[in-house]
Structure 1
């Protein structure tokens, strides 16, 4: 079972990285991993709290990451500090 879950998570990260590459970001693998961490954390917190607000916060953080990566090719030090 563990291998199935790992394969699913790795495929999810790869799909995110592919999408980021299509957007033309500077480091699609890094951004794909960052977005996966945001998603996984938001799902875990939303489940624990029985509240969907973590998904809203994760979405706004993801938008910042994506916008910054598209504009500058990578995340600036300022953006990294804000997150």
Structure 2
């Protein structure tokens, strides 16, 4: 099952103290005593959330410069043009 980071946060935030797992098929919290194939450990969700928060360096893609982007300094280029004129 693919969960969004927002859904993971909702599951972890709403979990009661006694809950160990969240059953993705039934959408309920379990104590983890009888494991089911659709149980997701709340600790694993917490780890995934922490990992996402640690590695999400580019939350606003508009501020990201792609490695293939050619960046030029206009001031340097203008100075070179002026030097070439004379």
TM-score (norm 2): 0.27
Of Structure 1 and Structure 2, the greater strand share is in 2
Larger Rg: 2
Length-normalised TM-score, structure 1:
0.27
Higher helix share: 1
User: Per chain length, whose mean CA-contact separation is higher, i.e. which structure has more relative contact order (CA < 8 Å, sep 6+)?
Assistant: 1
